[in-house]
Structure 1
């Protein structure tokens, strides 16, 4: 790969990282806590490219000022021609960069929920369970709701009105509200889903909603892969949140 190609790729890759960092798009790929690392990585890439470009310009000026009498530039032309052929494939590395700049891939959604193994839903330890807040309606993350229905044998959620936020997805004749949780980045996303009963909203798949209702006691079991059921009392369509993933 020619040095010019390397420098261009560094600038574009660094620019792509900074773009998704400052625009908030990085939340579709990684957790919020990794923002400083993304900004640092993008800044370092661009800084290395600028440093290399300055060094190349200085070397070129020094070479131009030297005495090159009798130098045969034929070999250099052949070498440059050879490098131009060998570096063509490296431009394919620009495809993911252009995807970030031009396409902006959406956050993962229902396809991941449908294809992932359901047994990964409740891989949380019992020590995450704490006291539920007071109030007529308890807003809970999907992670906490699914974890409690699987591990909390005391039934603290029974007869408590809960608010859940997620997107709708369907399988066979069942409708689910789902959310994806990540530990680090979108590559390790795991699905969390809840089967809906009662006043199920007649909205398209992938539509984000806020649901208020109650858990069906003892509905999560090993037989149904620990997927709880939720009786919907009211629902509201909402926009996709800025942070689509839970952690």
Structure 2
């Protein structure tokens, strides 16, 4: 690959990292805590490219490279296509496809963190991660009889309706699905519509037989926009 093409690739890759960082698109790929590293990587790439360009101009290598390698320029430009895709295409966040395709046993691989006390109040807002973890590991039944509010996207499979969420530890590559089986009055909304559901867990409904998927009796159901941070940790 010619040095000019290498430098252009570095500039575009660095620019792509900065674009997704400052536009918020990075949340579709990695956790929020990694934002400083993405920005630093983008700045370093652009800096290296600019340093190389200045060095080549001073040494006259750019002119020398043009004289005998014109035949290779067409193929190297194809390498820019994946980079341009980052600028032109905004991929959706992971959704129902990964929940359906992933083994349900992935939900049993979460860590057994110590569960803290539930907050007081008529309705307890919980992440899907904490709710599913509590229904699987909290044998004292602290959620029984408590009204809980969950946020997730709708998913239908095998005649059942679920509220689902994707959790990641670092980035989208280690995504794992979480889902809750919904019962009660569930409106006919399209799959992957984001919703807030309020209701109560069905005691002892999460077990090894159903891959630790709890059942949830809905008493309130509200469509919402996709969260800015679609993934949980």
In structure 2, distance between residues paired with 1:100 and 1:213: 40
- Distance in 1 (CA, whole Å) between partners of 2:53 and 2:125 is 53
Q: How far apart, CA to CA, are the structure 2 residues paired with 1:90 and 1:118?
A: 43
Runs ≥4 in structure 1, deviation > 2 angstroms? 87-96, 122-128
Question: What aligned pairs does 1:186-205 form with structure 2 within 5 A after superposition?
Answer: 186-205=172-191
In 2, distance between residues paired with 1:158 and 1:208? 25
Work out whether residues 122 and 146 of structure 1, in 8 Å CA contact, stay in contact via their aligned partners in 2. no
Q: Give unmatched runs, 5+ long, in structure 2.
A: none
Task: Give the Cα–Cα distance (whole angstroms) in 1 for the partners of residues 182 and 171 of structure 2.
Answer: 28
CA distance in 2, matches of 1:125, 1:191: 14
Deviation (angstroms), 1:142 = 0.3
Q: 1:125 to 1:48 in 2, by over 3 A?
A: closer
CA distance in 2 between counterparts of 1:226 and 1:54 reads 59
Q: Given the superposition, is the C-alpha separation of residues 163 and 76 from structure 1 closer, same or farther in structure 2, using an over 3 Å criterion?
A: closer
Indicate the residue corresponding to 2:217 in structure 1: 231
Q: Which residue of 1 aligns with 2:69?
A: 80
Could you tell me the TM-score, scaled by structure 2's length? 0.95
In the alignment, is residue 60 of structure 1 matched against residue 60 of structure 2? yes
Residue 20 (1) aligns with residue 6 (2):
no
Alignment check: 8 A CA contact 2:108 2:211 kept: no
Pairwise CA distance, 1:76: 7.6
Q: How does 1:173-212 map to 2 (within 5 A)?
A: 173-212=159-198
Structure 2 match to 1:222: 208
**Cα offsets for 1:136-191 (capped at 9, x unmatched):** 00000000000000001111000000000000011021000000000000011000
Aligned length: 233
Cα distance, 1:233–1:58 mapped onto 2, change above 3 Å: same
Give the 3-state SS of the residue equivalent to 2:118 in structure 1.
coil
Residue 19 of structure 1 and its aligned partner are, at CA, apart by 0.1
What are the superposed Cα offsets for residues 183-221 of structure 1, whole Å, 9 maximum, x if unpaired? Answer: 000011000000000011211001000000000111001
Q: In structure 2, do the counterparts of structure 1 residues 104 and 76 end up closer, same or farther at CA, with 3 Å as the change threshold?
A: closer
- 1:121 maps to 2:101: no
TM-score by length of 1: 0.90
C-alpha contact 1:212 1:235 (8 A) present in aligned 2: yes
Q: Name structure 1 gaps, 5 residues minimum.
A: 65-72
Larger Rg: 1
Distance in 2 between residues matched to 1:52 and 1:170, nearest whole Å: 53
The residue that corresponds to 1:70 in the other structure is none
- Distance, in Å, in 2 between the alignment partners of 1:129 and 1:105 is 35
- Equivalent residue, structure 2, for 1:69: none
SS at match of 1:126: coil
2:199 pairs with 1:213: yes
State the superposition RMSD in angstroms: 1.9
